[in-house]
Structure 1
């Protein structure tokens, strides 16, 4: 048995070396020059020929992997739908799994920033935003544009922003970083003493933030869904997410989270402020968010048994 992620050509020659092995590939995403992440945001230019050629080249490797694999695994329905129809036929939905025994609510959680002289705990008015890197694909620019109105409306709010200054997806900015570009756009309307850029943090720090936050914002282009969204839901965070295809796979508005149009800055600010002002209204959403993860994405009860069934099937067809 070989399990592999084929994103960078890792599986191209495996069948030649191990012809009797069963190959299972994690088919995370298949690129398109239109209709998905590319060209989604009108603030940025549509992909030119060079960009389209780059995507086609990346897909060429993925197509070879799809042809070679005996089975594919895709974590979410929308992501699986990006694959060619013939590849979908041999791909099943299995999420990597969330360890809900670790990602769980904790009323005693606290996080201290000694250099800033603050400690936060559950019940404090805290807003969070998390991305691997602070960039447009994950809606950082939209969040920052909503922040002045949110902070003006909620004078006791503290905002914690997690993410690096590099680029994980999409184009690099002409100069500097997206973090500074969009911070500079609104900095004159922010109270810097209440905004905390934490950079990249350890996993325990991330979890404590999610256990403490009163409202967590998750925005994304139509692209790969972040694990952080499910982990936030698993600890019963109230998530305000973008009404984009990958998020719709998980969140039902008003039931286990809240949704706003990706580009609706004013709508995002209004929804976040309501959650911050009336946290008791959203206790049911918190509980339903964790229940969603327990039922659909739990590592021990859902994901590992699904992989075990896949293994059995692979061995039975050898």
Structure 2
């Protein structure tokens, strides 16, 4: 079978499925903006394409998102035409439609089946919208209209696809029923063999930290440090937490960019904005126990989770982070936000402790309670790992189900376009 993968940042969510399909003898090709030169990665042929240069034009602000996606879709379409001219005829297109690239691919290959990675449908109501009023100052009525337009990308993709896949029920359920009926819930998968507890773990980053499980380590991880992942809540709780735990070391992982939501006003990053807000309430000797690690290699990230005594995870009602499940797999004692995506994987006091997203005092209370209770940490950590292995293990659960899903897509009747 010939399979075409479409992902702006390939491999992205296909980093395990694509090599597995290639290893089984399927001809796998990926089109992506991520690389500059053609290459072969784990038997997958990865081909680059470029966005066209465009002069500035007047576009209604509500249409900027769609304009960007159509630009990407056209570029991918033209790259697909060249691939077709070279003789490539995919039987199946597996695409992440979030950036628009796959919008016109069935016009190139009407005989191919297409299945979409369904990350999120944007709801124009609380709690998906207006969850955090501190940072959402938009007019409620017009913001609801803008959000409806943001979903045009989903509506342009779904009628041309046979099926979809979502990593969590929360994410799948954001889609309207006519789309939801096509979506199968299968998580991307966590390698619970690599992400596993290690009583001898040590995290050493020269000039920053050298810690083991004998140290009182509190961890907080984001791809980028920003409100969507509760960075502001954690930082505002930090002065109280450091006073309560004079021996704690706080390790914070995350970049300075923006993954979700809007950039902060002015020249400062979200990271610096909340450092500036709380720094005056933290003594120098306490601030010395706070370590911003930036983005770290995956092996260091796993050691971070393995030495963590309490791991904090906060999120808006949004896409669930892999890092939470990896922390669970490492038997971390977790304090997390009581929001819908988290409740899908953690019940309060079973696999972790849940607190109101906005309640920094409750966050500190639960973190301190776990730091004082080794038996509770052990119980929660073991339960969390069992959940991760039973429901999200990459090799025994996710990949076999994904392969079954691919077979099912190929067995469905081809939709008429």
TM-score (norm 2): 0.74
In structure 2, the residue matched to 1:60 is: 152
Q: Distance in 1 between matches of 2:109 and 2:299?
A: 39
TM-score (norm 1): 0.96
Q: 1:262 aligns with which of 357, 367, 375?
A: 357
Q: 2:279 aligns with which of 187, 206, 223?
A: 187
Q: 2:383 aligns with which of 288, 293, 304?
A: 288
Q: Distance in 2 between matches of 1:281 and 1:291?
A: 15
Q: Distance in 2 between matches of 1:293 and 1:47?
A: 38
Consecutive aligned runs of 4 or more in structure 1 exceeding 4 Å deviation: 49-54
Gaps of at least 5 residues in structure 2 are 1-91
C-alpha offsets along residues 150-205 of structure 1, whole Å, 9 cap, x if unaligned? 11011000000111111111111112111111111111222221000111111111
Q: How many residues align?
A: 317
Q: Does residue 1:105 correspond to 2:197, yes or no?
A: yes
In structure 1, the residue matched to 2:261 is: 170
Q: 1:153 aligns with which of 230, 233, 244?
A: 244
In structure 1, the residue matched to 2:373 is: 278
In structure 1, the residue matched to 2:178 is: 86
Q: Distance in 2 between matches of 1:128 and 1:113?
A: 15
Gaps of at least 5 residues in structure 1 are none
Q: 1:44 aligns with which of 121, 135, 149?
A: 135
C-alpha offsets along residues 49-88 of structure 1, whole Å, 9 cap, x if unaligned? 6655553333101111111110010111111111011111
**What RMSD over aligned residues (CA atoms) do the two structures have, in Å?**
1.5
In structure 1, the residue matched to 2:94 is: 3
Q: Distance in 1 between matches of 2:323 and 2:293?
A: 16
Higher relative contact order (CA 8 A, sep 6+): 1
Q: Does residue 1:210 correspond to 2:305, yes or no?
A: yes
C-alpha offsets along residues 269-297 of structure 1, whole Å, 9 cap, x if unaligned? 10011111222322111011011111111
Q: Distance in 2 between matches of 1:306 and 1:54?
A: 36
Q: Distance in 1 between matches of 2:398 and 2:350?
A: 23
The secondary structure found in structure 2 opposite 1:13 is helix
The secondary structure found in structure 1 opposite 2:388 is helix
Contact 1:256 1:289 in 2 (8 A): yes
